[in-house]
Copies of this chain bind each other. A is one copy, B any other.
Amino acid sequence: MREAYQSDLRHLVDDLVNMASMVESALSDATDALLDGDLALAERVVAADPHIDERQLDLDAKSVELLARQSPVATDLRLLVASLRMSSSLERMGDLCAHVALVARRSHPELAVPEQHREQIRRMSDLALAALRDAAQVISDRDLALAAQVEKNDDELDELQQEIAREIGKGEGYTNTQIVDLTLLIRFYERLGDHAVSLVRRVGFLVTGDAVDTLGQATDVTEF
């Protein structure tokens, strides 16, 4: 019984890591769809999002069941609370990937991202993708050094968002729709990074054993 319980807890971590890898695929595909104007790929990303949502429901059902059945305390309780939060972040990240794909779809056959911003958007996507991959590893290995790295890398994502916003503000030759789309896109990538930071902070909460997840908030109130 006790062994089954420990195995259930380990499975929960595996499920979180699997969910992260579904979001990774969605993010990678969404950016490709966006930059290549690949409508079919964009549609696939949008169509796949409900599967990520189902994973969350499944994961949360397991967490709640374990809370009810095992009355966990200490580390196990923290793991279950963290799991409920991490699944929310991952679900939301899936939504954000679908949003990127929706911008690609809405713009088709035009490309949403003007030539001069392609590299920056690719870089934002790469940074978000790396953050997500690292976060999955942090969840799996509880590697707090890597967690610190994820936080640090998030700054570059914020800076890129601000850089692009500044360039749009004083730039010329954009259509209104391009500005709307770019503004949304850089916000989506920046939010993806924030959620990755939230994920690793929650692992920190698990490891350090603070009474509550004081660091787990996505502190997204920045000057942009």
Q: How many residues of A contact B (CB 8 A)?
A: 51
A30 to B222 CA separation, bound complex (whole angstroms): 16
> Could you say which of A126-134, A135-143, A150-158, A177-185 contacts chain B?
A177-185
A91 touches B176 (CB 8 A): no
Main secondary structure of the interface of A (DSSP, over half): helix
The answer to whether A217 and B56 touch (CB under 8 A), given A64-B211, A179-B183, A184-B183, is: yes
Closest to A222 in B: B102
B213 touches A60 (CB 8 A): yes
| 8 A Cβ contacts from A151-197 to B | 165, 168-171, 174, 176-177, 179-180, 183-184, 187
Interface residues of A (CB under 8 A from B): 46, 49, 53, 56-57, 60-61, 64-65, 67-68, 71, 73-74, 77-78, 81, 84-85, 88, 91-92, 95, 98-99, 102, 106, 165, 168-171, 174, 176-177, 179-180, 183-184, 187, 211-214, 217-221, 223-224
